[in-house]
Amino acid sequence: MKGIEIAKRCGVSTSTLKHYEKWGLVPDVPKAENGYRQYTLTHLAYFQCVVHCNIGFGMPFVKQIMPLIQTNDTMSVLWKINEAQSALQDERRQAEQVVDMLEVDKVEWFEQIRKKKKYYSIGEVADIAGIAASAIRHWEAEKLIEPERHKDSGYRQYSPEDIRRILIIRTVSKAVWSLDSVREVLTAADQNNIKRTKEMAMQSLDFIDQTLVARMKAIASLSALLDIVSSHEDGWSRENLGYYGYYQS
């Protein structure tokens, strides 16, 4: 197959294919005597998997799994997919939490997730929000949150209202491209414009749903690729499934 044909079927440019080859995402492509690359149907399956997985999971993730496929480490690939899907499920639960939070009083919502205290440490807040403490520090540097400092130790002290803002930032930042958009949502929340804040939170839910659709399509491409490249001894092999009693009718 010609590179231009592969590119057309994948919906990318030939230069993009060459980048994928350079990054080691597909097996080596042999060249004919005239120097032209000779792509096979297996290469096509690899490229289609790369394109779809890039849309659903992102290129850093693609760069993790494609070399593993080439070394027949199928199980590692499957567990990485499973881990990523589990994280997406957690993201959706968190977004739903923010939407629910906007339906109730700003004190009542916090009572729903943890016994109320006056202040919380950055570690406690990171645990509640399910994010890294470094993300909270970054948002503070961007002036999205401004926690108080303990007068003696200087440690950050986060109020329930600070945590509310962090949960909103975490959720909305998943679906928007700029910090200015996040600031807009926080301003709306500060002004009790719950309708606007909820709209952005709902957009996050939509974004997560779209990501799920893209990932399912990516998984279909991955499945097709594994069907091509898996050997009889591989755990993915369809023939091997019959060896396990619980698969048998």
C-alpha pair distances (Å), 72 with each of 17, 50, 139, 201, 231 = 22, 16, 41, 41, 8
The pLDDT-based confidence of 178 (bands split at 50, 70, 90) is low
The average pLDDT across 209-214 equals: 94
The pLDDT-based confidence of 112 (bands split at 50, 70, 90) is low
Q: How many Cα atoms are found within 13 Å in the side-chain-facing hemisphere of 23? A: 18
pLDDT of 127 over the 90 cut: no
The average pLDDT across 99-111 equals: 57
Which one-letter amino acid corresponds to residue 89?
A: Q
C-alpha pair distances (Å), 220 with each of 42, 194, 199, 243 = 15, 39, 32, 24
Which of 144-153, 180-189, 199-208, 229-238 is predicted most confidently?
Answer: 144-153
State the alpha helices, DSSP H only, in 132-193. Answer: 133-141, 160-172, 179-190
> Where is pLDDT greater, at 161 or 47?
47
Which one-letter amino acid corresponds to residue 106?
A: K
How far apart are alpha carbons 249 and 247 in whole angstroms? 7
pLDDT value, residue 134: 93
The answer to whether 31 and 37 have CB atoms below 8 angstroms apart is yes
For 186-210, the pLDDT digits (tens) are 776 666 666 666 777 777 788 889 9
Domains and CATH numbers, the chain: 3-85+212-247 (1.10.1660.10)
The whole-model pTM stands at 0.68
What does the mean pLDDT of the chain come to? Answer: 83
How far apart are alpha carbons 11 and 44 in whole angstroms? 12
pLDDT of 17 over the 80 cut: yes
pLDDT value, residue 175: 61
| Pick from 49-58, 104-113, 115-124: least confident | 104-113
